[in-house]
């Protein structure tokens, strides 16, 4: 049961024991899909803490309380909970391309609404825009599960994770990839959200802050608009509403215009449109884009994926099956606690740092970056360990234990100097964020062959519930008792999660299924 998925599948393929299952095949286009989704997810994630990381400036400019600023982050979690189930259902029914289009459209719309909020009297407009972006997150967090499930093979889990890592956080074999890709993809946006707002919005007079906010909001809106255009081109080109011949005619008109200038880089010795359309950057970009975001490959990437397709159950039945799975419920709670603590620390990071180091606004953003980047490294390392040793439960428990240790060290070293805080934050991020893909891989083993979108939705919904609860609890203890008791409460929660995780079953359903298939 601990032998690798790759070996099992290779064995099954070589001994001819799977006559009714088509030979697995993976397609290069899967990487293009992943890269484009990286930018889409990052554009949504960077807006999560866009306000709270510059809390003092936002509070003074709009004349609102710190609680209202923190609610711009909490709204992400609140809206996710009721909408994840219809979102997961729509993803299964409508497919990847339409789900991604809806998600990026909402992200783009919300970003432009926030452009109209740059006025001391329009905080409510910005909150509406933030809510629209938060609602679109349903499609950000659900898509990677499906994307990985239908496109990536069992021997590419770690490499897919690495690509995703350097690209938000978070099933059977394919579900495992979903966790990594989603986690790592989302992390790029979180890292940008920690760093970019403090660099642009540095405070000053109301007029200066107005200009700074315009730059910030316009930049994000333009980014999301560009992604929306790319995805729409992809969608309608593939559906036939935009014909390749029409696009090439437009490109040729541009080329003929360039020929008016003898020094133009587009001038070629031959005037055949085919040469230009084959090698020009606009055409290459369009071709790459038009290959992206199909609903699924012609051939499943693994025997496990093929088996899952054949064993599909209804959405409601899948929910009932997961609710009856004791080990999954324990993992659900433990995972939710870990992510809830991460959300609480991230949301209130600016206030935590400024309490000890006055004027260290930029350091707060950089410390958040350290937490996120170290988490990326942790995700890659943990993924490698799992692929190498296949010890799912053991690895999850070890990483969770170090997350608890990291939180304890963070609690008692906050006043020891900024350099110490940077170092300890890196340790905390490495294990706390690095745990996320590991936990999802364990979940994939425990719930096979349930649909990856349903399982991912439940795990993410639990994260939002604990995120809201822990952020409010941490905030109350931080302001009314002390920072130390606020942090200790998070440590107690992590200890409870570690205990629940230790009670999870060691039976790995996916590995067992692959073993029986290979025999």
DSSP codes, 223-288:
HHHHHHHHHHHHHHHHHTSS-HHHHHHHHHHHHHHHTTSTT-TT--SS--HHHHHHH-HHHHHHHH
Per-residue pLDDT, averaged over 124-152, amounts to 80
When pLDDT is averaged across residues 248-271 and rounded to a whole number, the result is: 45
437 in Cβ contact with 347 (< 8 Å)? no
pLDDT grade, residue 303 (50/70/90)? low
DSSP 477: H
Strand (E) or helix (H) holding 101 = helix 96-115
How large is the average pLDDT for residues 66-85?
88
Q: What is the pLDDT of residue 380?
A: 77
Q: What is the pLDDT of residues 8-40, one digit of tens each?
A: 444 444 444 444 545 666 666 667 777 777 777
pLDDT band of 443, cuts 50, 70, 90: confident
| pLDDT at 269 > cutoff 50 | no
Quick one: residue 4, left, alpha or beta (phi over 0 = left, psi -120 to 50 = alpha)? Answer: beta
Alpha-carbon gap, residue 446 to 234, rounded angstroms: 36
Residue 498 banded pLDDT, cuts 50, 70, 90: very high
Rounded Cα distance, 447 and 327, in Å? 9
What pLDDT is attached to residue 489?
Answer: 96
Distance CA 244, CA 512 (A): 47
| Phi, psi for 358 (deg, rounded to 5) | -60, 135
Contact 501, 397 (CB under 8 A): yes
Higher-confidence residue of 394 and 188: namely 394
pLDDT of amino acid 337 = 96
CATH topology of domain 26-240+294-512: Growth Hormone; Chain: A; (1.20.1250)
Rg, Å, the chain Cα set: 24
* pLDDT of res. 39: 78
The residue count for the chain: 519
Mean pLDDT of 175-187: 45
pLDDT of 283 above 50: no
Give the mean pLDDT of the chain. 75
Every domain of the chain and the residues it spans: 26-240+294-512
Higher pLDDT, 114 or 283: 114
Helix pair angle (123-151, 303-310), 10° resolution:
110
Look at residue 412 in the predicted model and tell me its pLDDT: 93
The answer to whether the beta carbons of residues 448 and 509 sit under 8 Å apart is yes
Is 57 a residue whose pLDDT tops 90?
yes
Residue 97 has pLDDT above 80, yes or no: no
Q: Tell me what pLDDT residue 15 has.
A: 43
What's the rounded Cα separation, in Å, for the pair 178 and 302?
15
Query: Would you say the pTM of this structure is higher than 0.75?
Result: no
pLDDT of residue 465: 92
Cα 75 to Cα 68, 454, 489, distances in angstroms: 10, 22, 23
Alpha-carbon gap, residue 467 to 342, rounded angstroms: 8
Tell me the C-alpha distance between 261 and 237, whole Å: 31
Residue 155, both tokens:
């021997």
């Amino acid at each position: 049961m601990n032998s690798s998925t790759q070996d099992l599948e290779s064995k099954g393929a070589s001994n001819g024991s799977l006559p009714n299952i088509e030979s697995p095949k993976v397609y290069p286009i899967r990487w293009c899909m992943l890269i484009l989704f990286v930018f889409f997810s990052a554009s949504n994630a960077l807006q999560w803490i866009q306000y709270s990381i510059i809390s003092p400036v936002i509070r003074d400019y709009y004349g609102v309380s710190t609680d209202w600023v923190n609610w711009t982050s909490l709204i992400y979690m609140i809206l996710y909970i009721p909408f994840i189930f219809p979102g997961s259902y729509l993803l299964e029914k409508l497919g990847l391309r339409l789900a991604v289009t809806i998600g990026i459209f909402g992200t783009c719309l919300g970003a432009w609404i926030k452009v109209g909020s740059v006025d001391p009297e329009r905080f409510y407009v910005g909150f509406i825009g933030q809510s629209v972006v938060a609602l679109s997150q349903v499609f950000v967090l659900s898509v990677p599960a499906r994307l990985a499930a239908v496109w990536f093979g069992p021997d590419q889990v770690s490499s897919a994770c690495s690509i995703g890592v350097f690209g938000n956080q978070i099933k059977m074999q394919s579900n495992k990839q979903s966790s990594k890709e989603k986690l790592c993809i989302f992390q790029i946006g979180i890292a940008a959200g920690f760093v970019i707002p403090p660099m642009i919005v540095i405070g000053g007079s109301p007029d200066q802050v107005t200009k700074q906010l315009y730059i910030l909001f316009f930049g994000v809106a333009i980014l999301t608009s560009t992604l929306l255009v790319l995805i729409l081109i992809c969608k309608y080109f593939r559906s036939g509403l935009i014909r390749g011949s029409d696009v090439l005619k437009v490109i040729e008109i541009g080329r003929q215009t360039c020929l008016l200038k003898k020094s133009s880089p587009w001038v070629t010795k031959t005037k055949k449109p085919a040469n230009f359309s084959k090698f020009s950057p606009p055409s290459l970009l369009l071709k790459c884009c038009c290959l992206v975001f199909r609903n699924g490959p012609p051939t499943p990437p693994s025997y496990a994926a093929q088996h899952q397709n054949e064993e599909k159950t209804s959405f409601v039945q899948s929910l009932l099956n997961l609710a009856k799975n004791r080990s999954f419920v324990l993992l659900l709670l433990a995972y939710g606690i870990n992510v809830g603590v991460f959300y609480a620390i991230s949301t209130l990071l600016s206030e935590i740092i400024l309490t000890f180091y006055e004027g260290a606004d930029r350091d707060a953003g950089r410390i958040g970056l350290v937490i996120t980047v170290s988490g990326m490294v942790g995700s890659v390392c943990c993924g490698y360990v799992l692929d190498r040793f296949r010890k799912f439960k053991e690895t999850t428990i070890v990483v969770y234990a170090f997350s608890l240790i990291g939180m304890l060290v963070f609690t008692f070293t906050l006043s020891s100097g900024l350099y110490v805080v940077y170092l300890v934050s890196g340790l905390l991020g490495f294990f706390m964020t690095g745990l996320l893909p590991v936990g999802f891989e364990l979940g994939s083993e425990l719930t096979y062959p349930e649909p990856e979108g349903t399982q991912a939705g439940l795990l993410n919904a639990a994260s939002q519930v604990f995120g809201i609860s822990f952020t409010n609890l941490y905030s109350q203890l931080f302001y009314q008792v002390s920072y130390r008791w606020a942090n200790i409460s998070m440590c107690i929660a992590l200890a409870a999660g570690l205990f629940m995780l230790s009670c999870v079953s060691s039976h790995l359903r996916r590995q067992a299924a692959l073993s029986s298939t290979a025999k």
